[in-house]
Amino acid sequence: MKIKNKSVIIKDLGVVDYKECWDFQEKLFKNVVEVKIKNRREALNKPTSNYLLFVEHPHVYTLGKSGDMSNLLVSETELIKKDAKFYKINRGGDITYHGPGQIVGYPILDLDNFFTDIHKYLRFLEEVIILTLDDYDLKASRNPGKTGVWLDINTPFARKICAMGVRASRWVTMHGFALNANVDLSYFECIVPCGITNNSVTSLNKELGVEFVDVIELKKKIKNNFLKLFEAKTN
């Protein structure tokens, strides 16, 4: 019987270049997968590790496997002027933006330790953000058929505050969520965010009417809601 390790190693990486962080994710991801393969091949029962990485990226646009390149609305020259990079990556979803003031979370979990259901996993990630925004007295929700977290759905003022995109193999996850905290929203004007043309994008500080949201406190709330929802613990 598999030993279920529900302990999550939480690391705050600070500000890290997207490609450097992507490589780090891949390293952790591959290590977990290799343990699972060895367990199966050699009839072992070694526990697998789980991680939650917090990071902030310099300006970057990323396009998922199912994304449409036409949703990037600026040229390579304009990207350089904006000091922004662009990558095609191996997560699901379309195009999105990461940058200063955005809290990015990358859970690298062995879902065999929790539940083997990708749909449920995405709903859990959304719920973590919904619960966190509720801590700020903001009523957020899901938007049927559109992954992520939204405000005022089913109204002309629907706007997205958190994007999500994941990859999973052998029930091990990577990539994750991007919550706009104190983001310069003008950078979203360079793309059709997540390929959605009829809704806008917002940020937590804009919704609260403040200049700056305390990101240390915000990450603490996300962490607490994550551990509670996944019934996990941290060292």
Polymer length in residues for the chain:
235
Distance of CA 138 to the CA centre of its chain: 19
Catalytic residue status for 21 = no
Of 21, 162, 190, 194, the catalytic one is 194
Query: What whole-number distance in Å separates Cα of residue 4 and Cα of residue 111?
Result: 10
**Cα gap 232→124, rounded to integer Å:** 13
Task: Please list the active-site residues.
Answer: 194
